[in-house]
Structure 1
Amino acid sequence: MLFPLLCAVALLTATAVPAAGAPHAPPPSAGQGSTVVKTDHGRVRGVSHGSYATFDGIPYAAPPTGPLRWREPAPAAAWQGVRDATQPAPRCVQMPAPGASAVVGSEDCLYLNVTAPTRNPAGKKRPVLVWMHGGAFLGGSGADYSAERLAVRGDTVVVTVNYRLGVFGYFGHPGLGSAPPFGLMDQQAALRWVQENAKGFGGDPRNVTLFGESAGALSTCAHLTSPTAAGLFQRAVLQSGSCLTSFPPGALGPGTPAYEPFAAEADVQTAGAEAARQLGCTTGGADEVLACLRGQGTDRLATAQLMQSFNRPAFGNALLPVAPGQALASGRFHRVPVILGTNHDEMRMFVGLSLAAFPIRTEDDYRARLVDAFGPAAPAVEAQYPAEDHPTPALAWAAALTDRSFTCTTLAAGRAIAVRAPGLPLYGYEFSDPGAPVLSGLPADPGFPYGAAHGFEMPFLFSSLPTERPLTDAQHALSDRMVDYWTGFARTGNPNAAGAPFWPLLHSSSPLPRSVQSLAPGPGGVHTVDAYSAHHCSFWDGMSR
């Protein structure tokens, strides 16, 4: 059951994956113009959409194929003439859907997309936002995220990035030594591309905000603590993922293991040696074994087992010397302004995906799940989250997991930053729209409303994400407010602006009184809340000790 569930999580948090061979986007229409920009590797032709232009499928590194598989990203080749940048490049190889036989995506996938306003006053440099997509390090693509609202309303340049996934991005082996995570190296290569090329698109390479959701937020956390990312970005936004995010045993289903998003290098190498044995690559020395592995076809590697066995970035290398949570606690992180936040009902997405296989209909079902996750502490957790205080036992379970895995770990990460860098601009939020449109593809259950579940804030920033219904007028107004907050922060390091509800700083004191900005539609929907108390964080902090 774990493979299909991980696949569903990857696909839903990264939006729907198109069928193999399907075009990513329609060609430019007759009413659209073209525009050409010079990059450090050659000129690219994008599409003008009136108030903004898009440039898709720009290579930022060489294809990591053949002898370049499982190596740091190499420079892309320069080109003559004008390169077409009117359609996205293929997505990186994805976690296969259950029962699928064809590989989705390509190993030749290290491309990025740029969205920029067409109006470009002389000498003006706009802030640059670089988006790292989510998808459990198993799925997703930068092209899934249409950034025109952030670009036009926010007057910013937005870059969305593909990076290697699964076994192609996070494989390790004794023969590779302490190689950094290849997917994270890809992301830093993209950030270096931005440093060299942002100016050509009207952006300021000295004002770059790195932001991401879920695995993209975990990536952002990694770069915050990575010595090799120094100077590559000046601000960071982490949506639904922090340096301390983790899941207890049983969170994804009875008997499933605990989840820590980062793994020790030695553990990844051990898993890689076992994978090599299973693939028949055991003869000769390290060079021969690696040559055998690099000679394997994409389809032999892009299996559910191998992809989900290598979806945790390794630490213990030059990019991540120690686990990001440890680096944060010891003060080894870049001093840049940070926004970090979660959604009010994060785990309802994960629980909703598993209810058909693992229903939670009764209080006994609920208690069994608590015992699976928390062992002897289960009665104490139940006392904090009694089933009778929630509409259903399944919603009680989702609330406990949300607080344990997302809200309180994110607030703890904020405290660690504030303690070690007390003068650093630091802001927290909670997306709290109980009627947020449901992401397409989630199973419907009338007795299990999704509320503000994992990923549900993204359509308020990116208009392209598929949902079961469009935003209401009130939700459009919230979307405008969020775009203004995010892009204002990118511009100055402070999300506040005239006429907007004031967003206070997070502080190191515990608890954190009414300092998290609640984001919900309607009059008074944007206001400060005491998330620490509302989500039982004093209890969970005690559990972690």
Structure 2
Amino acid sequence: MHRALTTVGCVLTAVLATAWSAAPPTQPARPTATETVHTHDGPVRGAVHAGYRTFEGIPYAAPPVGSLRWAPPHPAAPWPGVRDATRPASACPQPAGEVPGGSTDEDCLHLNVTTPDGTGPAHPRPVIVWLHGAGFTTGAGSSYDAHRMATRGDTVVVTVNYRLGALGFLARGGLPGSGTFGLADQQAALRWVRAEIGVFGGDAHNVTLAGESAGGYSVCAQLASPAAAGLFDRAIIESGPCTGRPDRPFAPSSVPLAEARAAGADLAAEVGCGNSAHDTLACLRRVDVPRLLAAQDSDQQPAYATPLLPGDPAAAIAAGRFHRVPVLIGNNHDEGNGWAAGIVQAGHPVTPDTWPDIVATFFPAPGQAKAIVHEYPVHRTDGGPVFGAVIGDADFACPTARADRLLAARVSVWRYEFADQHAPPLTPGAPPFPLGAPHASELPYLFDLGGHPRDLTAAQHRLADTMIDYWTRFARTADPNGPSSPHWHRQTVLSLAPDHIVPTRTARTRHHCTFWNAL
């Protein structure tokens, strides 16, 4: 049972978080109206929509192919003529999941810009740069249709592709950039924004770096990266707690460089480029993408003890070694329920008899399982929600509370908890128990995922509008408050639910944070 549960957990970590976009984006018809803007690399022609414009598939770095596979990002080459930017470019290589059919195209370092109509150079708009989640193994910037955030919030939104999986985070001795190529891509995109966003109506001096799950953890990593100094002015972290730990499953985190190098050696051996190869790196660069994807681990993390990420972001933030920018941070009320439901559906029911073994599988340190079973007893045969609470509290709610406390000692912090117990489902089919507000369930309130708006009630639409107002006001002024929304107190957690947006002081108790901090 232990082996089966561990396998299920690894797969779900990489897959379930992306299942919300199982429906592929509709392929847009070629637009009847276009607009051309001029970047330093050449002109790009985007699509004109009702109230906004999109410019998709713009290169921000050279294709990381050939000798540039596992190299820091290089500048994009200028292009002749006008580049078509009316359709998304390829996602970075990944297995099938969020991107239908997956991707094997390494020419993927592109970004997408959504900007409202009526942009004028005298009135530059705040910029939000969005980093997608999905376990550092899947995802694409083009999955996030940002037109509601751009138009309602009067902001310019940039969504980014960055290298994923082994192609983004391979580590080897003597290889510059080891373990952090994906994070370096994000920094290259931010440098592009500083240089180019003005021609799209954005304010290059007012950039908010935002992301969810692995994207949120990426924001944490950039907060702690000396190389990111001066590249962004505010930070939004959704369900990517900066103080996550690699010894606990599900939540994104980083690993020591030595551990990342060991994983890199295993990958090299798996694809036939082990110690017997004359030049391991040259051998690896000749391996085709499908073979690399088949050989890589389902879990991927950036490496620290590296030039880009000198220390574990959790330790850096605890020590105050992070960029001094205002932060908006939060988690979802029932963060772990999606994973728990997936494990139950995979044939591992949570009952009083199975509960101790399930806990021991995911929390194997001596004494932990017994303490957790005592703190979270299962008395009935439908204990899935208890398992979900353990995952959510241990890996998201309590690390987020700790990150809030550490960050707030030095910068302005606003913390939320998304709590819509009837959030639209992100996965097809009926779950084994009500999921409430699980991981990623806040995203349809901010974006049209995969180009498809979710069905929301009138009250949920009001919540979506309020969340966009908070997020974009924070991007504009570093304070989410405004006359049209309930006041957000910095000293409390703002609970976000339809027609019930209220401050709460009970989040720490509700999520057993005293217990987890002691454990």
Say whether the fold is shared (TM-score over 0.5).
yes
SS of residue matched to 2:55:
strand
Contact persistence 1:56–1:86 (CA under 8 A): yes
- 1:110 is aligned with what amino acid? L
What is the aligned partner in structure 2 of residue 302 from structure 1?
293
By how many angstroms is 1:16 displaced? 6.1
Give the alignment partner of residue 27 of structure 2, picking from 15, 25, 28.
25
CA distance in 2, matches of 1:452, 1:470: 15
> Can you list the C-alpha shifts for 1:319-371, whole angstroms capped at 9, x where unaligned?
10011111111111000000110000000011112112242242122233234
What is the aligned partner in structure 2 of residue 427 from structure 1?
414
SS of residue matched to 2:108:
coil
By how many angstroms is 1:81 displaced? 1.7
Distance 1:40 1:469, change over 3 A: closer
Contact persistence 1:96–1:302 (CA under 8 A): no
CA distance in 1, matches of 2:177, 2:186: 18
Contact persistence 2:486–2:501 (CA under 8 A): no
Task: Using the TM superposition, name which of 325-334 and 263-272 deviates more.
Answer: 263-272
CA distance in 2, matches of 1:183, 1:83: 25
Distance 1:298 1:314, change over 3 A: same
Structure 1 residue 516 corresponds to structure 2 residue 493: yes
Distance 1:95 1:5, change over 3 A: farther
Give the alignment partner of residue 528 of structure 1, picking from 495, 504, 517.
504
SS of residue matched to 1:36:
strand
Structure 1 residue 342 corresponds to structure 2 residue 331: yes
Contact persistence 2:72–2:176 (CA under 8 A): no
Contact persistence 2:143–2:451 (CA under 8 A): no
What is the aligned partner in structure 2 of residue 14 from structure 1?
18
Structure 1 residue 262 corresponds to structure 2 residue 247: no
- 1:357 is aligned with what amino acid? A
Distance 1:3 1:538, change over 3 A: closer
- 1:173 is aligned with what amino acid? R
> Can you list the C-alpha shifts for 1:211-252, whole angstroms capped at 9, x where unaligned?
000000010000000000000000000000121123766x57
* TM alignment of 1:416-455, pairs within 5 A: 416-419=406-409, 421=410, 424-441=411-428, 443-445=429-431, 447-455=432-440
> Can you list the C-alpha shifts for 1:366-388, whole angstroms capped at 9, x where unaligned?
23323434452434333432335
By how many angstroms is 1:155 displaced? 0.1
What is the aligned partner in structure 1 of residue 443 from structure 2?
458
For structure 2, list consecutive stretches of 5 or more residues without a partner in the other structure. none
Task: Using the TM superposition, name which of 182-191 and 463-472 deviates more.
Answer: 463-472
What is the aligned partner in structure 2 of residue 66 from structure 1?
66
What is the aligned partner in structure 1 of residue 210 from structure 2?
211
Task: Using the TM superposition, name which of 260-269 and 288-297 deviates more.
Answer: 260-269
* TM alignment of 1:84-163, pairs within 5 A: 84-96=84-96, 104-163=103-162
SS of residue matched to 2:166:
helix
CA distance in 2, matches of 1:381, 1:6: 21
By how many angstroms is 1:17 displaced? 6.8
In the superposition, the TM-score normalised over structure 2's length comes to: 0.92
Contact persistence 2:72–2:177 (CA under 8 A): no
- 1:25 is aligned with what amino acid? Q
Distance 1:452 1:221, change over 3 A: same
Give the alignment partner of residue 387 of structure 1, picking from 354, 378, 403.
378
SS of residue matched to 1:138:
coil
Contact persistence 1:51–1:118 (CA under 8 A): yes
Contact persistence 1:429–1:517 (CA under 8 A): yes
- 1:489 is aligned with what amino acid? F
CA distance in 2, matches of 1:58, 1:308: 29
Give the alignment partner of residue 358 of structure 2, picking from 348, 356, 369.
369
Distance 1:103 1:458, change over 3 A: closer
- 1:472 is aligned with what amino acid? T
The alignment-based identity, stated in percent, is 44
CA distance in 2, matches of 1:222, 1:335: 14
What is the aligned partner in structure 2 of residue 542 from structure 1?
518
The size of the alignment, in residue pairs, is 513
CA distance in 1, matches of 2:472, 2:381: 37
CA distance in 2, matches of 1:231, 1:277: 40
CA distance in 1, matches of 2:452, 2:425: 5
* TM alignment of 1:280-359, pairs within 5 A: 280-282=272-274, 288-303=279-294, 305-308=295-298, 311-359=300-348
CA distance in 2, matches of 1:491, 1:260: 28
By how many angstroms is 1:280 displaced? 2.5
Contact persistence 1:25–1:88 (CA under 8 A): no
By how many angstroms is 1:500 displaced? 1.2
SS of residue matched to 2:334:
coil
Contact persistence 1:440–1:467 (CA under 8 A): no
By how many angstroms is 1:540 displaced? 1.4
Contact persistence 1:14–1:141 (CA under 8 A): no
CA distance in 1, matches of 2:8, 2:106: 22
Contact persistence 1:180–1:320 (CA under 8 A): no
What is the aligned partner in structure 2 of residue 511 from structure 1?
none
In the superposition, the TM-score normalised over structure 1's length comes to: 0.88
Contact persistence 1:145–1:160 (CA under 8 A): yes
SS of residue matched to 1:35:
strand
CA RMSD after TM alignment: 2.6
* TM alignment of 1:193-212, pairs within 5 A: 193-212=192-211
SS of residue matched to 2:470:
helix
Contact persistence 1:363–1:387 (CA under 8 A): yes
Contact persistence 2:244–2:396 (CA under 8 A): yes
Structure 1 residue 499 corresponds to structure 2 residue 501: no
Contact persistence 2:55–2:112 (CA under 8 A): yes
CA distance in 1, matches of 2:42, 2:7: 42
SS of residue matched to 2:113:
strand
SS of residue matched to 2:204:
strand
- 1:396 is aligned with what amino acid? V
- 1:535 is aligned with what amino acid? H
> Can you list the C-alpha shifts for 1:290-334, whole angstroms capped at 9, x where unaligned?
11111111122111x41426x110111111001111111111100
Contact persistence 1:27–1:87 (CA under 8 A): no
